[in-house]
């Protein structure tokens, strides 16, 4: 089983829709992350979870709502998004939330908001 | 000033050539440094950590210059498979990513 999986891989949604992105890690890690990657821009950290508790929220708009039911699963619930939210959303996990640990990324969900 | 800055490139080099590029960071308190590699339309993957004394991993050499606040990556004997975007990652209490340097190795 691949280390970090994400579904769906591609998503097109209207501004009034509600959808959810799913991430699952099979590595036994304690920390999980959501990142946003826009073209030609650095990865932007959105949320960090450590042992299922949110430890960081980088001023992300409330139209993005994370959920971490257990240490292996992470969701990103989306509602009333804007066209500028179109990007690649990457999930990652690491052994712990300390920054010295290698991050393992999933393949990402390419989101288009119309 | 951006936290992490990279020359976006692209660096176009022939097979067998040596290519090197830098990354500058703004926070002098940064403690950990990494190079990640991202292939086109794929996820980033760790290439190597960067240690204070510099380190090598096969054809790849990473250096850290704390005084001037930059790290570098050198690729020797470039292969076609080295074509990718290389992301500089710097951390203090959080990870900061650069936007990446694109390298294209041509036959």
Kindly state whether A27 is in contact with chain B, defined as any CB-CB distance less than 8 angstroms.
no
List C-alpha distances in Å: B51 to A5, B25, B65.
30, 15, 10
Q: Distance (Å) from the C-alpha of residue A32 to the closest C-alpha of chain B?
A: 13
- Residue of B43, B57, B97 to mutate, testing the A interface (most A Cβ within 10 Å of its Cβ): B43
pLDDT band at A56 (very low <50, low <70, confident <90, very high): confident
Per-residue pLDDT, averaged over A84-97, amounts to 94
Could you identify the residue written with the tokens 């990402």? A108
Kindly state whether A56 is in contact with chain B, defined as any CB-CB distance less than 8 angstroms.
yes
Q: Structure tokens of B94?
A: 């959080």
Judged by CB atoms closer than 8 Å, whether chains meet at B87 and A43 is answered as: yes
Judged by CB atoms closer than 8 Å, whether chains meet at A103 and B95 is answered as: yes
pLDDT in tens, B39-49: 998 999 999 99
B94 neighbors A99 (Cβ within 8 angstroms): yes
B3 pLDDT above the threshold of 80: yes
3-state secondary structure (DSSP) of residue B45? strand
Could you identify the residue written with the tokens 């009034």? A16
Chain B: residue whose CA lies nearest to A94: B46
Chain B: residue whose CA lies nearest to A55: B94
3-state secondary structure (DSSP) of residue B80? helix
**Chain B positions in Cβ-Cβ contact with residue A94 (cut-off 8 Å):** none
Per-residue pLDDT, averaged over B8-37, amounts to 95
Q: Would you tell me how many other CB atoms lie within 10 Å of the CB of residue A5?
A: 15
H or E element that contains A32? strand A31-37
Residue A1, pLDDT score: 54
Judged by CB atoms closer than 8 Å, whether chains meet at B92 and A102 is answered as: no
What does the radius of gyration of chain A's CA atoms come to, in whole angstroms? 13
Residue B95, pLDDT score: 86
Cα B79–A43–B19 angle (5° rounding)? 25
């Amino acid at each position: 089983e691949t280390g970090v999986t994400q579904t769906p891989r591609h998503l097109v949604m209207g501004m009034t829709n509600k959808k959810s992105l799913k991430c699952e890690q099979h590595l036994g890690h304690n920390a999980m992350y959501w990142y946003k990657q826009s073209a030609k821009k650095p990865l932007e950290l959105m949320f960090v979870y450590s042992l299922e508790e949110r430890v960081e929220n980088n001023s992300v708009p409330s139209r993005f709502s994370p959920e971490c039911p257990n240490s292996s699963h992470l969701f990103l619930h989306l509602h009333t998004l804007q066209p500028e939210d179109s990007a690649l959303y990457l999930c990652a996990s690491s052994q712990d939330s300390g920054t010295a640990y290698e991050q393992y990324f999933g393949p990402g969900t390419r989101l288009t908001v119309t | 000033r951006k936290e992490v800055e990279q020359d976006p490139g692209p660096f176009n080099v022939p097979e067998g050539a040596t290519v090197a590029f830098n990354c500058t960071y703004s926070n002098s308190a940064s403690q950990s440094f990494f190079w990640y590699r991202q292939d086109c339309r794929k996820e980033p993957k760790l290439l190597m950590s960067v240690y204070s004394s510099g380190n090598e991993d096969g054809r790849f050499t990473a250096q850290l210059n704390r005084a001037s606040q930059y790290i570098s990556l050198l690729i020797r004997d470039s292969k076609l498979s080295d074509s990718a975007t290389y992301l500089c990652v710097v951390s203090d209490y959080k990870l900061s990513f650069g936007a990446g340097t694109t390298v294209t190795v041509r036959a």
